[in-house]
Structure 1
Amino acid sequence: TARLPLLVALIQGSRDVHIDMDFEQGIERMRHYSELTRQARHDYRKLDLVIWPETMFMLPKVVLSPGAKVPPHEEELVEDFRREFPKAVRQAAQMLNEKDAPGADVPTLFYFCTSTFDYGPDRRRSYNSALLVNENGEIVSRYDKMHAVMFGEYVPFAGWFPWVYDIIPIEGMTEGDQPAVATVKEMNFSPNICFESTVPHLIRSQVLEFEKQGIPVDVLVNLTNDGWFYGSSILDLHLKCGVFRAIENRRPLVIAANTGISANIEGSGRIIDRGPKRDPQVLVVTVQPDGRTPLYHTLGDWPAMGCSGASLLLMSAGLILSRRIGIPDRKPGIVPPLVHESERNEPSH
């Protein structure tokens, strides 16, 4: 039986990103997104899901693993985060599920990205996490970004030389080790964060991983903060990558992007709705499973590798044949004369 479509609000704010942004600016960014969310909740009835872009929820989630050691200078801050983060999550859930709000009989779930600080016995690990919160303010799904951006989220070989992170303005991010699904009314969303949507084999492997477990992935969702690019053509490029991921997997893809370009893309690659660049806008979209099985899931990247191999073979064959039949090498830019020198000196009749 066909499942009913879901009504999803993609909250696109417009806040450029600065590497030296302080905590107060982060809180202001949260207020900006909260206002857009309240407006969406007021204007649209029966929202099933509200999605914020990457890192727009400023407060981090803190996890204390067994044997955790918190540095003395971080203890007070850790306690503040452990107290304030659950409170802020519950407040967001309450705002989306007010009893006197339109469509209050429909539970509205909240999907957002934030940092997860996991303190262990040896060190603190930082993850970029997508969290799904139910109507009671409980986290029911967590996905840790699996493909970090070089120099933006990690420095090569810094694991061997940890002091590198003491002299640069970024903190190394730990990559997640498994995909996750976020289930909303029996519809499974497969999340990816930021530029993960530019990595085709990653998205394919995540979808196939759940298919092996008998869990169908119905919708792809990209949570991204493109405020780093100040409205440049990178935003258009990122959107086009999303179109390709939708086609390759025959899954609808929704994008929640800070500063744009948020979008709702069909499994055929058609962009149904899209937001502007560097302007706030709430996109309320309808998503429904596609149901098709893509050829890319069966063949993977073998056709591309076959074409690359064939190109190398043809190039090698051309070089070998040119040597065997004695085709002379010519220097670039030198064109042989059309008339032989001896013919040029013959008198005309």
Structure 2
Amino acid sequence: MSESNSASDARASDLAEQPPAAPASMRWLLAASFAFATVLWMSGPPIAMGPLIFVALVPLLAIAEVAPGSPWKQSLYLASLVYWLVSLQGLRHAHPLMFLPWMALSAYLAIYPVLFVALLRRWRATHQNQTSRPWRNRIPFCLVAAVIWVGLEWIRNHLFTGISVLMLGHALADMPILIQIADLGGTYAVSFVIVCLNVAMLEAMNRWVVRLPASSDTPWSSLAIPSGLLIATIAYGAITMQVATEPIGKTIALLGGNQLTVYEQDIEREREIFAAYAEMALDAVANSKSEVTAVVWPESMFSGGMPWMTTGPDLAVPEFMQDPSLPPLVPDQLRFAVENNQAGFLDRATNLQLAMAASSNIPSDVAPAIIGGCGLVQYAKQPSQYSGVVWIDPAGKMAGQYAKNHLVLFGETIPLVHSLPWIRDQVPPGLGLDRGTQPERFDLDGISLMPNLCIETAVERIPINHMHQLNSRANPKLPDALLTLTNDVWFRDSAVVDHHLRCAQLVAVGCRRPILSAANGGPTAWIDSAGRVVERLPKGQSGVIEAQPRRDRRVSLYVQIGAWPAGLMGAATACGLAVLAFEFVTRRRKRHTLRGQPSTT
């Protein structure tokens, strides 16, 4: 122990004798920052050169080593901002008002690489003080970097409603053997391995290319650990991809169209969209070579100007329905109107089912079920409006419905919209939906499906939490497949559509369930439980996918325990950020105190 302390003291003395390194130039910092942003962007859509992700963080790690006093924050934040603006530029197409949210979201997400480097630099600064905390020397730097990065990913997956798009692990979506570990810890697990390998790349470059001294006191561990993780990842992927799945023998028709929609859409336009999809549904059944169990319509396409209405307890007539020039409406009249709406809704669906059955070339006594994205309205003491999914069984009965649990920030929910009138006046009609609270499972004939809507697969914790809830110990009700109903036409075939698909691929592995996606504007796709895209409609093309998913009986560790390992990393990272914030405030107070003191000369 004394020898170890002596060695530590000697190293500390050597460091103290070395002259301080000169701050890095702004030119070098800009080059490194934009190298990071460029390589990271090229690793994902639309370029999609996935292997680049293994060197994307090397410039970022190099920035973490520059001398104190280097103006790295400005250059890195600028490059990160450009990266997010370019990567998410498809968001601006949704509505003229979306320019501000697009820029605000990019400005927010650009903070995370800066925080990553700040925490690494803080760790290195304390790491060099080896006499006070010698235990730090035994922690491989690659693990420190991976914990911080994954911790920051966990934080952004929860903060401000959360967003999972463009996590590091998504870059490897087209390399199935490397993403199978997502069934252990989600996309976080893939990101963890990627960060470790980036540290190994920097260590190898410093040691054998640039011929610099080792960047950590445990250089070989920063090479051996990532190498071992990579070998284990490949081995695990090769083994798990060989697990047999079972044919279910059911065909699910996924409708994919490109109907343009707007926020201020009128009823006539909604009816036109419904008619176009109804024709597509008829063609799908007529051209199918197998019996279609269900036809899936994308998000909101089944409404057709007629949302599904229900009544709840303490029914009251909303004020907007009262006409001062007429006698006041009473709850019984509203209930009667809702029942008439339900009858008309189901009559329309039944007629479509009869037409589909008649158009089929395969004789059957059972019409296809309909699963469609549809508005849901409930009148009770207070009216509620949801973006939802309805399931109409072959008998034309409403068999199930799902209310969207995760609302799109700025698209479906606006902060303070109900509190500040000036915000409410600027919001287009149709925004301000209510939030569902629980998952649902649709038990069709021979196959069970768990629906989710819109970007819920792009917020990874939503489908994982739903699966976890359905995996109750007392009465597990895990589905055979996940259904995604989305409307991505807002993004005009941009890379945002591809990012959404990649999120779904990692969710499929994390849940060990196929994902069937019916989309207006893409991505209409059939993904198997290993995250492989079995079939996908090209962007900008309408069509039908006849998915025949296979049953995977595995219950992933990720579904069983959730993301608590990543949550622990997030908590540790949050503590580190709190320390940084405290030190920043303390330094500012000291500067203000010194400025206020009188001069002694």
TM-score normalised by length of structure 2: 0.49
1:289 matched residue in structure 2: 551
1:277 pairs with 2:539: yes
Q: Name the amino acid aligned to 1:268.
A: A
1:147 matched residue in structure 2: 406
1:48 is paired with a residue whose SS is strand
In 1, Cα distance between equivalents of 2:569 and 2:283: 51
Deviation for aligned residue 1:215: 1.3
Deviation for aligned residue 1:18: 1.6
In 1, Cα distance between equivalents of 2:414 and 2:577: 37
- Cα separation, partners in 2 of 1:101 and 1:135, compared to 1, 3 Å: farther
Deviation for aligned residue 1:225: 0.7
1:46 pairs with 2:314: no
Instruction: Deviation per CA, 1:112-160: give whole Å up to 9, x if none.
Output: 0111111123x32101111111111111011100111112111123344
Q: Name the amino acid aligned to 1:114.
A: C
Which of the numbers 10, 15, 31 marks the counterpart of 2:259?
15
Aligned length: 318
1:219 matched residue in structure 2: 481
Which of the numbers 379, 383, 395 marks the counterpart of 1:119?
379
In 2, Cα distance between equivalents of 1:312 and 1:174: 31
Instruction: Deviation per CA, 1:7-54: give whole Å up to 9, x if none.
Output: 111011111222222211111111111111111111113111110000
Deviation for aligned residue 1:277: 1.1
In 2, Cα distance between equivalents of 1:182 and 1:299: 24
Deviation for aligned residue 1:171: 3.4
- Cα separation, partners in 2 of 1:151 and 1:100, compared to 1, 3 Å: closer
Q: Which has the larger radius of gyration?
A: 2
2:191 matched residue in structure 1: none
In 1, Cα distance between equivalents of 2:575 and 2:455: 33
Which of the numbers 102, 109, 128 marks the counterpart of 2:387?
128
2:200 matched residue in structure 1: none
Tell me, yes or no, if the aligned pair for 1:115 and 1:126 is still in contact at 8 Å.
Answer: yes
In 2, Cα distance between equivalents of 1:158 and 1:86: 34
Instruction: Deviation per CA, 1:80-112: give whole Å up to 9, x if none.
Output: 744532221222222233397524245421100
Which stretches in structure 2 are left out of the alignment for 5+ residues? Answer: 1-244, 324-328, 581-601
Tell me, yes or no, if the aligned pair for 1:225 and 1:259 is still in contact at 8 Å.
Answer: yes
- Cα separation, partners in 2 of 1:317 and 1:206, compared to 1, 3 Å: closer
Which of the numbers 305, 312, 322 marks the counterpart of 1:72?
322
2:263 is paired with a residue whose SS is coil
1:62 matched residue in structure 2: 309
In 2, Cα distance between equivalents of 1:163 and 1:90: 44
Tell me, yes or no, if the aligned pair for 1:94 and 1:137 is still in contact at 8 Å.
Answer: no
- Cα separation, partners in 2 of 1:282 and 1:295, compared to 1, 3 Å: same
1:265 pairs with 2:513: no
1:98 is paired with a residue whose SS is helix
Deviation for aligned residue 1:303: 2.8
Q: Name the amino acid aligned to 2:268.
A: E
2:269 is paired with a residue whose SS is helix
Deviation for aligned residue 1:247: 0.9
- State the identity %: 27
1:188 pairs with 2:448: yes
- Cα separation, partners in 2 of 1:78 and 1:293, compared to 1, 3 Å: closer
2:152 matched residue in structure 1: none
In 1, Cα distance between equivalents of 2:579 and 2:522: 48
1:34 pairs with 2:278: yes
- Structure 1 vs Structure 2 CA RMSD: 2.9
TM-score normalised by length of structure 1: 0.82
Tell me, yes or no, if the aligned pair for 1:94 and 1:135 is still in contact at 8 Å.
Answer: no
1:6 matched residue in structure 2: 250
In 1, Cα distance between equivalents of 2:536 and 2:570: 35
1:254 pairs with 2:254: no
Deviation for aligned residue 1:216: 2.2
Tell me, yes or no, if the aligned pair for 2:384 and 2:434 is still in contact at 8 Å.
Answer: yes
- Cα separation, partners in 2 of 1:29 and 1:68, compared to 1, 3 Å: same
Deviation for aligned residue 1:69: 0.9
- Cα separation, partners in 2 of 1:314 and 1:136, compared to 1, 3 Å: closer
Tell me, yes or no, if the aligned pair for 2:248 and 2:447 is still in contact at 8 Å.
Answer: no
In 2, Cα distance between equivalents of 1:164 and 1:149: 17
- Cα separation, partners in 2 of 1:164 and 1:91, compared to 1, 3 Å: farther
Instruction: Deviation per CA, 1:43-80: give whole Å up to 9, x if none.
Output: 11311111000011122112133423141359799687
1:97 is paired with a residue whose SS is helix
In 1, Cα distance between equivalents of 2:361 and 2:394: 14
Point out the structure with the larger helix share: 2
Deviation for aligned residue 1:168: 2.0
Deviation for aligned residue 1:227: 1.1
Q: Name the amino acid aligned to 2:457.
A: S
Tell me, yes or no, if the aligned pair for 2:411 and 2:431 is still in contact at 8 Å.
Answer: no
2:358 is paired with a residue whose SS is coil
2:316 is paired with a residue whose SS is coil
1:168 pairs with 2:413: no
